Structure 1
Amino acid sequence: MIGFLRQFRGPVTTFHLSAGLLPKTLVSAAAAASKPSVAVFWDLDNKPPKSIPPYDAAVRLKLAASSLGSLRFCVAYANHHAFRHVPAPVRAARAAGRARDHREASQPSPEPYPCRVCGRNFFAHAKLVDHFRQIHEREHAKRLRRLDSTRGGRRVRLAAQLALKMEKYEKAARELLVPRVGYGLADELRRAGVVVRTVEDRPEAADRALREHIVDTMDRGKIGCLVVVSDDSGFVGVLREARMRCLKTVVVGDEGDGALKRCADANFSWKDVISGKARKEAESAVGKWNDRELLKRLEWTYEPDLEQIEDDVFEGQSEDGDDEDGSFGLVGKRWSKDSKPWWKLDSDSCDSIVR
């Protein structure tokens, strides 16, 4: 294969691939190359989910990252303020809910509000919330106390018995109950499979923790693609180091052409991630990366040491002990005046001496 590629005396281009000059097995193997392992690092202080609920944002981000390769993990860093803060859209929705409850106190709603746990109907949303807190929330607390008081196999059997009721309660609680702190950002991200880590309330604490985690992950050599969800230009150095280590880098942010995006191999916006457009763009980016790696492996490079060895073999004495004139061992050594002809045998000279 090396000699076949060297006859071009130049880089192998896509024309050679399309012309069928390369073996089909080589092309198919390159096309079916395994995707790299992907790790997502999310800066919640700089890029919290605002336009859609946190759970939906995390799920769509993981879907977009899984299009780049096999998703290894997704981790998010933030300080306590990010989890206590309530975004403006959430505050507006809560204010609209309070106005609705105040309006229904004097004029009940024509459509009932069903309880997702027991099925009872209420014509006021406030009464539904009171019913849920007084009955179902207390029942859920009792179930949790029962689980805490049991151990071993009994605990496993009890958890299996209460799993359906607890799941039904948690779904209904997410719709009805307002979180006591923040808007449930950490719980929703954990429900989506994101590892949430809280740092101290100091400036740039989350950025430092993220950079240290990224460098530690690169040192372990467990990933091949790095996804950073942030617009902070402080991660430029980390991205450059990742590219020096031959890792693919992807940035998810809102800024059009920031310094962070210019250092990455690919970049997506939050709008593309939410709409699903980033998944298609990620697949095309992976295809371009695979084509580029294939061309790099097939590209011919000049090796002066190997070329000198080949010249010595063909211009000087061969490996079989042949001379420079190209005479081969089948006809003996090169004839000269002092040497006898090749057709005369040693026995002939002995016979002449005897005669």
Structure 2
Amino acid sequence: MVLFVKFGNFFCKIQSRRLEILNPFAVLSRCCHFLQNPQNNVAIFWDLDNKPPNPIPPYEAAIKLKATASSFGFVQHMVAYANRHSFSYVPPMVREVRKERKMLNQLENKGVIKPVEPYLCRVCGRKFYTNEKLVNHFKQLHEREHMKRLNQIESARGSRRVKLVGKYSMKMEKYKNAARDILTPKVGYGLADEIKRAGFWVRTVSDKPQAADIALKNHMVDVMDRKGAECFVLVSDDSDFLDVLKEAKLRCLKTVVVGNVTDGTLKRTADAGFSWKEIMLKKAKKEAVSVVGKWKDRDVLERLEWTYDQEMEKSAYFSDIESEDGDSEGTIEGVHHDCMQEDNSGSWWEIDSDSDDTVSQRRK
């Protein structure tokens, strides 16, 4: 039995040695584990009431914002707050596009304008020569089928519901992608749905003034208390968030602000500031490399910085005195006693000299 165990250990050593020879980087990764720098956790807080992506499609803006924030570390939290008015609001640019589309539909129905290529249904593949016929076909057929699937999933329970979700997942995703380009959103221009599609957690607050700001501040402080992130990305130009940024700076956290105000109080307080234009042109992602480099240099300097701890120095000083107390007391008392005996012969201000010694000898 002992021989069998020894043979097994010897075989395992040979096998591990073979693996190291085949993959020499395995040993290097074990020895150089200290070289692996863990990324900072990043949290994105979006004030949609103050900074909606009006000139940019919401989904594209959210994806570019996430890509820029990932340059500072691992994006762990993505939150957006707004009231109902922000989600129901339609930007002027979107209104102009809808008016143009409506005019084109009227001209196509009258036969004045003909499309270069027929309109294609992205669900079933049928072709239509007017956009209005495509929209009617989509509503009458595919929208009804989609509602039937949703009703089946909501009425099912347990394993049957799981099976239905897996069965209809591809069809429902295909329908959503097609409906995004064909159907007009019932509320606003689909701001909440598009930002949710990008992975953000969207929260609707009451219509009271400053309700979104208060909720967003409380959420940021809660993440700070739980130490859920080391880098905070705030999308807003509202100066009411100045206190929260200062609190993050006091806690030695990294801060980034995204807003269109070039010289605002938020950007002056934060470590870095970008605009929507810089984010869409990927200029902010390139500048993030230099910002992260400055943060690393700052962290190294903070580690190397010498700090004086008064209480620690006091405890070390008194411990040294107590350890040498037994020896020092005897020597000090002995020296003091000898000095007292010598000082009895004269006052401390009188200086002994050779002349005084000779005079005393002659008198004797």
**Cα drift, residue 275 of structure 1:** 1.4
Change (3 A) 1:50 1:240: same
> Can you give the 5+ residue segments of structure 1 that lack an aligned partner in the other structure?
1-27, 323-355
CA deviation digits over 1:195-254, x for unaligned, max 9? Answer: 111111111111111111111211112211111100000100110011111111110100
1:76 aligns with 2:80: yes
- 1:22-37 correspondence runs (5 A): 32-37=36-41
Find the partner of 1:58 among 55, 58, 62: 62
**Cα drift, residue 306 of structure 1:** 5.5
Looking at secondary structure, tell me which structure has more helix per residue.
Answer: 2
Find the partner of 2:149 among 124, 143, 154: 143
Q: Would you say the 8 A contact 1:236–1:260 is kept in 2? A: yes
**Cα drift, residue 88 of structure 1:** 1.0
Instruction: Find the counterpart in structure 1 of residue 114 from structure 2.
Output: 108
- 1:145-294 correspondence runs (5 A): 145-294=151-300
Identity %, equivalent residues = 54
Change (3 A) 1:294 1:129: same
- 1:292-307 correspondence runs (5 A): 292-301=298-307
Q: What CA distance in whole angstroms lies between the structure 1 residues aligned with 2:257 and 2:199? A: 20
CA deviation digits over 1:67-123, x for unaligned, max 9? Answer: 111111110110100000000111111111111111111233231011101111111
Please tell me the residue identity of whatever aligns with 2:42: V
**Cα drift, residue 288 of structure 1:** 1.0
State the TM-score, normalized to the length of structure 2.
Answer: 0.75
SS in 1 for 2:228: coil
Q: What CA distance in whole angstroms lies between the structure 2 residues aligned with 1:90 and 1:77? A: 22
> Can you give the 5+ residue segments of structure 2 that lack an aligned partner in the other structure?
1-31, 329-364
Kindly indicate whether structure 1 or structure 2 has the higher relative contact order, using CA contacts under 8 Å at least 6 residues apart.
Answer: 1
Change (3 A) 1:140 1:293: same
Please tell me the residue identity of whatever aligns with 1:72: Q
Q: How many residues align?
A: 296
Q: CA RMSD in A?
A: 2.8
State the TM-score, normalized to the length of structure 1.
Answer: 0.77
Q: Would you say the 8 A contact 1:30–1:294 is kept in 2? A: no
1:41 aligns with 2:49: no
Find the partner of 1:97 among 84, 98, 101: 101
Q: Would you say the 8 A contact 1:41–1:76 is kept in 2? A: yes
